[in-house]
Amino acid sequence: MTRMPEPGADHGVPDNRRWTLGEIPWIDSAERIPRARVIIDNDFIGDPDDLFQLVHHLLSPSVEIPLIVSSHVHAGEVWDPSDHQAEHGAWVVRDVFARMGVVQDDRIMAGAERALADASTPIDTPAARAIIAEALLDDPRPLYYCAGGGLTDLASAYLLEPDIADRITLVWIGGSEHEGIGILPPGAARSEYNLTIDTVAAQVLFGDSPVQIWQVPRPTYRQALVSMAELRVAVRPVGPVGAYLYEEIRAVGVMLAEEGSNAGETYALGDQPLVLLTALQSVFEPDPASSDYVTLPTPHIDDEGLYVARDDGRPMRVYTSVDNRLTFDDFQAKLSELAAWQESP
């Protein structure tokens, strides 16, 4: 679990080693011209794989990040049983900013604290309004909505302002196995975790909305495995941020051990494909060229969180494999660059 930080801690980063989003002062200015915009939406109080995704996206010069939305998980969940999951997740994001030396935290917003009650009633929050404002900007660059948890806030924004639908691409870590694509993991529920955080929100976005969807379903995001040995050798020693990320993963293993479970020696950093598919696109004809997908008609989703096939559904991408070599090598390299800059005189 992501451990609750102490609000306001600055972690001792010197003033001359602090920076603003998009600046990335350790690389040449010609290399930090973003060609796409990314709204990050994740349940930062939950599984700490989202911390890796957040740090990785913040260190990626090809994307501009105008907004980070902290979203809720299931009500009463072990990660955070409170009624303030989104707010607590925003605390986590601000703490990560402080550890990285990022001083610009006005782009961090807490989203809704509960799931949608029905498919026609949005939850009107400042986060939903900020999503709408960004989507309606006159900006020719693509806008990706990178969601690593539930879909409450994007669904609310769409219900409040349907015109955003054709101005945004949802890149989502979530959803169960499609027929013929992937195998249900042993002992897993048929309905997938992120989808069931807000099944109604998924129904809204997968239904008759024209929102373009790139989906990384459960059998694909489970491929994003790293070993604990890799994290000990390639992440833990790489500056204070690397040590923090490693300790957050290790804490999950400790928690499971206390509950009588054995975490083994790997961890799925399942939110990392959000970076791969948006920031690490090919130089010519930009696209996630090193990952594979199939195009399917977008299905309906039933009340159990399962797909209902429809031949007239708009086309959606379903990623079947992701380039973990590029993802993790790039992450480790960028983390090393940050650490080297922060440790320089």
Delimit the domains of the chain by residue range.
28-229+270-330
Print pLDDT tens along the chain (345 aa): 578 787 778 899 999 999 999 899 999 988 889 999 999 999 999 999 999 999 999 999 999 999 999 999 999 988 889 999 999 999 999 999 999 999 977 999 999 999 999 999 999 999 999 999 999 999 999 999 999 999 999 999 999 999 999 999 999 999 999 999 999 999 999 999 999 999 999 999 999 899 999 999 999 999 999 999 999 999 999 999 999 999 999 999 999 999 999 999 999 999 999 999 999 999 999 999 999 999 999 999 999 999 999 999 999 999 999 999 999 999 999 999 999 999 998
Instruction: Give the model's pLDDT for residue 1.
Output: 55
Distances (CA, A) of 103 to 17, 127, 144, 286, 342: 10, 20, 24, 31, 14
Instruction: Give the model's pLDDT for residue 32.
Output: 87
Instruction: Give the model's pLDDT for residue 333.
Output: 98
Rounded to whole angstroms, the Cα distance separating 110 from 90 reads: 6
Task: Answer whether 45's CB lies under 8 Å from 85's CB.
Answer: yes
Task: Answer whether 45's CB lies under 8 Å from 80's CB.
Answer: yes
Selection from 191, 201, 176, 17 nearest residue 114 by Cα: 201
Give residue 341's identity as a one-letter amino acid code.
W
Which CATH architecture is the domain 28-229+270-330 placed in?
Alpha-Beta Complex (3.90)
pTM: 0.97
What does the block give as tokens for 12?
A: 């001792």
